[in-house]
Amino acid sequence: MIVSIHNLFPEYINYWFVVGINKFIRVFWYFVIFEFTRYIIVDYIIYGIFWLTRKKRAEKLQEAKRKLFAENPFVSVIIPGKNEGKHLYKLTKSLAEQTFKNFELIIIDDGSDDDTPIIGKNLERLGLIDMFIRNEMRGGKASAANLALRYSKGKYIVHLDADCSFDYDAIEQVLIPFYLDEKIGAVGGNVKVRNYRESLCARLQAIEYLKTVSVGRIITSYLGIYKIISGAFGAFRKDIIDSIGGWDIGPGLDGDITVKIRKSGYKIYFQPKAICLTNAPSKFRVLTKQRLRWDKSIIRFRVRKHKDVYFPNTNFNWLNFFSLAENVFYNIILDILWWIYIIDIIVNYTSQLQFVIPMNFMLYFVMSYVQMFSMYLFSERKKEELYLWPYVSLMTIYTGTYLRIIRTAAYYKEFFFKRSFEDPWNPYKSSIQAKRAGL
Sheet architecture: strand order including 267-278: 131-135, 103-110, 75-81, 156-160, 233-237, 184-193, 267-278, 165-166
**d(C-alpha 23, C-alpha 28), whole Å:** 8
The residues near 365 (Cβ < 8 Å, ≥ 6 apart) are: 393, 396
Percent of the chain with pLDDT over 70: 97
Which residue in 328, 149, 139 sits closest to 244, CA to CA?
Answer: 149
Q: What is the pLDDT of residues 195-239, one digit of tens each?
A: 999 999 999 999 999 999 989 999 999 999 999 999 899 999 999
Q: What is the pLDDT of residues 39-97, one digit of tens each?
A: 889 889 998 998 999 999 999 999 999 999 999 999 999 999 999 999 999 899 889 99
Instruction: Go through the domains of the chain in sequence order and give each one's CATH number.
Output: 72-282 (3.90.550.10)
**d(C-alpha 153, C-alpha 290), whole Å:** 33
Half-sphere exposure of residue 354, counting CA atoms within 13 Å on the CB side?
5
**d(C-alpha 346, C-alpha 396), whole Å:** 19
Q: What is the pLDDT of residues 306-361, one digit of tens each?
A: 999 998 887 789 999 999 999 999 999 999 999 999 999 999 999 999 999 999 99
SS3 of residue 238 by DSSP:
helix
pLDDT recorded at residue 139 = 87
Q: State the virtual CA torsion across 159, 162, 167, 168 in degrees, nearest 10.
A: 80
Does 1 have pLDDT greater than 50?
no
SS3 of residue 277 by DSSP:
strand
